[in-house]
Structure 1
Amino acid sequence: MPESMNARYRISSLDKGLKVLSSFTPQRRQLGASEVARLSGIPVSTAYRILRTLADSGFVEQLEDGNFTPAVGVLKLGFAALQSNEVVEAASGPLRELRKSTGETCNLGVLSCGDVVYLLRYKTSHYVIGNVSVGSSLAATCTAMGKTLLATLEPEELSGVLAGMDLGRAGVGPRAHRTAETLMADLAETRDRGWGMQDEEVAHGLRAIALPVRNLDGVVAAVGISVEGARWSRERMITEILDALRETAQKVSLRLGHLEGVTVYPR
């Protein structure tokens, strides 16, 4: 289509709104109106009006210090595309098999800024958080899948993701990390052993274990199992669930391009 005809169909206000949203990145999770204006090339007054409109619609959230950060509405907006991506397609069958064999809730998630977004969630009748469903997000620092994914990041990238995060508000469980020191120690242990665990960090009485999913380029997602803490101790999860989860992560990774026969997750 000729450029002149493209210009006829261009909606300038929508274009500006998309530029504002694109100003936010994993390294720039919180921005003020003046920063958004500088990054997007839009006047400050216009940037602020767009941000307020986006906040009213649930796409960004205004923080107590006046800065803005992406909200759940952005995640939901992009979820239709995520549902059809190859990671979801590759994981659907193996995760359903895992739920059937373990009888526990099985999940697939990806990292988005400082959150883990649930792309697949196969629930059982056992206790799990009721308001977490496909498209939902939780703070990565208090979830097994989130910590698994954070542990795979390079130090500089990890610092950018965690910058400005309020650990005091990230998790509501009794064992959620409250300091950067304990979180970094947990991530180091997660990195060394190759899998992540949360033990009543999301909520009281809930535990989970997770492993990364890889394609040829690296880690693209995580798979995890959520269990009721009253029925599953940490030790029992490691001895009775981890191997099945490891096999599932292996299946999904091979479907995403790992060479056939290569062991992605040695025991």
Structure 2
Amino acid sequence: MSGEAAKQTDVRGAGAVDATGADLSTVLGKAVAVLRAFRVEDRVLPLAELVRRTGLSKPTVHRIAGDLVTYRLLDKDQRGYRLSGGLFELGMRASAERTLLEVAMPFLQDLYERTRETVHLGVLEGAEVVYIAKIGGHRQARSPSRTGGRMPLHCTAIGKVLLAHADPELQQEVLAGPLKPWTPHTIVASGLLRRRLATILEAGVAFEREESTLGLLCVSAPVLDTGTGEAVAAISVTGPVGRFRPEAHVAAVRAAAAGIAGVLARR
């Protein structure tokens, strides 16, 4: 790319925000754009692909990627760049999530031993649920969730629990839609979803019946702050249609969530 073309590309980025929300008018924003260019399925990305995904000039991406390699946020080999273990180290220093994970893990392991089905721990971030733990055995059902991954609130059991306990502003934002139909069973009518959220508050648990993935059932309960009543997280048990009966695990999920909440309160 010529110097003039590179200049034009960066001018287009000035003051702009990319698809991930990174401010391309700042060096930090451009670095974030490079890091967020990596998707779950990516192992290595060549420089040309990073340029394409970020929309930044080749010299800019090359310079920023080099700095990220220096600070161990990216690794580089002859094929291109990949995310480095330094990012994992930083992520594990996130205080709130680390404390929650440390407290919750024994309860999640016990819940898995009781059910032998996939167990999740998730937290609310924006209008999505972020999964910070997932435990599953050899026969776990295939699901779109992954540790560190995100899913919409309206189509998952954990998401609906968190949404039911969220502030009215976030609820209104989600209910205003659009509500994406992930399967033919996804609730996409805001009025029906609003009624389901009220039921969740009354029952203390939420169910998902093939709403995010066909063939998948789920039951979830909130981890409540004992002082404020807010949901700091939620846990769930997930299994396949035909083998899994979510109603049979309501008591176990509630007990595990209450146990996590109790330990957090004592801390």
Q: TM-score by structure 2 length?
A: 0.64
Residues 158 and 234, structure 2, Cα contact 8 Å, conserved in 1: yes
Higher mean alpha-carbon deviation, 121-130 vs 240-249, is at: 121-130
Give 1:54 shift.
2.2
Work out the CA distance in 2 between the residues paired with 1:127 and 1:199.
17
Alignment of 1:164-203 (within 5 A): 165-167=177-179, 169=180, 171-203=181-213
Q: What is the identity, as a one-letter code, of the residue corresponding to 2:168?
A: P
What value does the CA root-mean-square deviation take over the aligned residues?
3.6
Deviations 1:180-238 (A, max 9, x none): 122112112112211111100011110100000023343200011001111124xxx22
Alignment of 1:11-30 (within 5 A): none
Do the aligned partners of residues 130 and 149 (structure 1) sit closer, same or farther apart at CA in structure 2, a change above 3 Å counting?
closer
Higher mean alpha-carbon deviation, 81-90 vs 145-154, is at: 81-90
Q: What is the identity, as a one-letter code, of the residue corresponding to 1:126?
A: R
**Secondary structure in 2 aligned to 1:159?**
helix
**Secondary structure in 1 aligned to 2:212?**
coil
Moved over 6 A (4+): none
**Secondary structure in 2 aligned to 1:210?**
strand
Give 1:129 shift.
2.9
Work out the CA distance in 1 between the residues paired with 2:144 and 2:208.
18
Question: 2:48 — aligned with what?
Answer: none
Question: 2:236 — aligned with what?
Answer: 224
**Secondary structure in 1 aligned to 2:120?**
strand
Do the aligned partners of residues 140 and 81 (structure 1) sit closer, same or farther apart at CA in structure 2, a change above 3 Å counting?
farther
Question: 1:253 — aligned with what?
Answer: 261
Give 1:173 shift.
2.3
Question: 2:119 — aligned with what?
Answer: 106
Do the aligned partners of residues 130 and 191 (structure 1) sit closer, same or farther apart at CA in structure 2, a change above 3 Å counting?
closer
Work out the CA distance in 2 between the residues paired with 1:222 and 1:144.
9
Matched, 1:86 2:99: yes
Find 1:118's aligned residue among 115, 121, 131: 131
Give 1:133 shift.
1.7
Work out the CA distance in 2 between the residues paired with 1:242 and 1:89.
23
Residues 20 and 33, structure 2, Cα contact 8 Å, conserved in 1: no
Higher relative contact order (CA 8 A, sep 6+): 1
Deviations 1:111-141 (A, max 9, x none): 1111111111101233423552210111111
Deviations 1:89-129 (A, max 9, x none): 11000110110111111110001111111111101233423
Residues 175 and 190, structure 2, Cα contact 8 Å, conserved in 1: no
Q: What is the identity, as a one-letter code, of the residue corresponding to 1:248?
A: A
Do the aligned partners of residues 105 and 114 (structure 1) sit closer, same or farther apart at CA in structure 2, a change above 3 Å counting?
same
Do the aligned partners of residues 121 and 251 (structure 1) sit closer, same or farther apart at CA in structure 2, a change above 3 Å counting?
same
Residues 92 and 98, structure 2, Cα contact 8 Å, conserved in 1: no
Matched, 1:141 2:151: no
Unaligned runs of 5+ in 1: 1-16, 22-28, 37-44, 63-72, 260-267
Q: What is the identity, as a one-letter code, of the residue corresponding to 1:220?
A: V
Residues 126 and 228, structure 1, Cα contact 8 Å, conserved in 2: no
Do the aligned partners of residues 127 and 204 (structure 1) sit closer, same or farther apart at CA in structure 2, a change above 3 Å counting?
farther
Matched, 1:214 2:224: yes
Q: What is the identity, as a one-letter code, of the residue corresponding to 1:88?
A: L
Give 1:177 shift.
1.3
Q: What is the identity, as a one-letter code, of the residue corresponding to 2:218?
A: A
Unaligned runs of 5+ in 2: 1-13, 39-52, 55-82
Give 1:174 shift.
2.4
